[in-house]
Amino acid sequence: MIFNARDKITRGLLSLAGPLPLNLYYRHHFPLPSVILIENTNCCNARCVMCPREKLTRKPGFMAFEVFEKIIRDVSGARRKPVVHLHGFGEPLLDEVLPDRIKLAKAFGIKHTYLVTNASLLFPETARKIIGAGLDRMKISFYGTDDESYCRTMRGLDFKVALNNVREFVKIRKEMKKKDAETDPSIPASNDQWCCDKRIQIPVALCSG
């Protein structure tokens, strides 16, 4: 059965229960979602043509670490700890304390942390920090198979910089022997052949040279 908190009938039924009984019922019958999305920032360094960020009316900024810690404390108390996504409408690597957020989540028993990045800021120092902090999985938005198509889609970013960052990340992950730091590039489907380096996939054309 699905309950809609905005439905008048549902709100009426819930109002009939006392605070304590309702709390106990909620904890038993309404567990946390299996995935929690925490937007650490809605700031971004790109102007991708398919992104609706320009429609946002929220003020750009970064989530206070105290707020993040409270969220992690609350969700970590559940029997089934959710997967925690550390991204939203912004570029998560703009957040200087992102490694600390990952460390905190892992310290509270969050088994799976995940983020999506455009890799433009995934420089070696940052890569080492987020891998060392315990990041479990990362998806890379990489729309384009050459400089022209990439820059046309991911405006404001540099194709060669992002591609080099991805390559270096794979090397660093191997050096640090962190098999749990998976990389999952998001690249438009095409007829290109694919080369696979364990858990990272990049078109053959991008792997040469």
Indicate whether 68 and 122 sit together in one domain: yes
| This prediction's pTM | 0.72
pLDDT tens sequence across 61-71: 999 999 999 99
What pLDDT, on the 0 to 100 scale, is given for residue 181? 62
Q: Which position has the higher pLDDT, 34 or 168?
A: 168
pLDDT tens sequence across 40-49: 999 999 999 9
Sign of CA dihedral 200, 165, 188, 47: positive
User: Is the model's pLDDT at 199 over the cut of 70?
Assistant: no
The Cα–Cα gap between 86 and 92 comes to: 7
pLDDT tens sequence across 153-164: 999 999 999 999
Q: Which of 54-58, 110-114, 168-172 has the lowest mean pLDDT?
A: 54-58
Indicate whether 20 and 39 sit together in one domain: no
Q: Which position has the higher pLDDT, 138 or 7?
A: 138
Indicate whether 13 and 48 sit together in one domain: no
Q: What are phi and psi of 192, to 5 degrees?
A: -65, 145
pLDDT tens sequence across 4-31: 445 566 566 656 655 555 555 555 545 6
Indicate whether 131 and 151 sit together in one domain: yes
For the CA atoms of 87, 182, 126, 46, the dihedral, rounded to the nearest 10 degrees, stands at: -50
Indicate whether 119 and 145 sit together in one domain: yes
User: Is the model's pLDDT at 103 over the cut of 80?
Assistant: yes
What pLDDT, on the 0 to 100 scale, is given for residue 192? 38
Bridge partners, 117 (sequence order): 140
| Amino acid occupying residue 62 | F
Indicate whether 14 and 112 sit together in one domain: no
Query: What does the pLDDT average to over 118-139?
Result: 94
Indicate whether 3 and 75 sit together in one domain: no
What pLDDT, on the 0 to 100 scale, is given for residue 118? 94
The Cα–Cα gap between 44 and 46 comes to: 6
Tally of domains in the chain: 2
What pLDDT, on the 0 to 100 scale, is given for residue 127? 94
Q: Quote the mean pLDDT of the chain.
A: 79
Indicate whether 5 and 63 sit together in one domain: no
What pLDDT, on the 0 to 100 scale, is given for residue 45? 94
SS3 of the chain: the string is: CCCCCCCHHHHHHHHCCCHHHHHHHHHHHCCCCCEEECCCECCCCCEECCCHHHHCCCCCCECCHHHHHHHHHHHHCCCCCCEEECCCCCCHHHCCCHHHHHHHHHHCCCCCEEEEECCCCCCHHHHHHHHHHCCCEEEEECCCCCHHHHHHHEECCCHHHHHHHHHHHHHHHHHCCCCCCEEEEECCCCCCCEEEECCEEEEHHHHCC
Residue-number span of the structural domain to which 73 is assigned: 33-207
Indicate whether 112 and 68 sit together in one domain: yes
Look up the CATH number of the domain holding residue 139.
Answer: 3.20.20.70
The Cα–Cα gap between 165 and 63 comes to: 26
Q: What are phi and psi of 67, to 5 degrees?
A: -65, -45
Indicate whether 91 and 137 sit together in one domain: yes
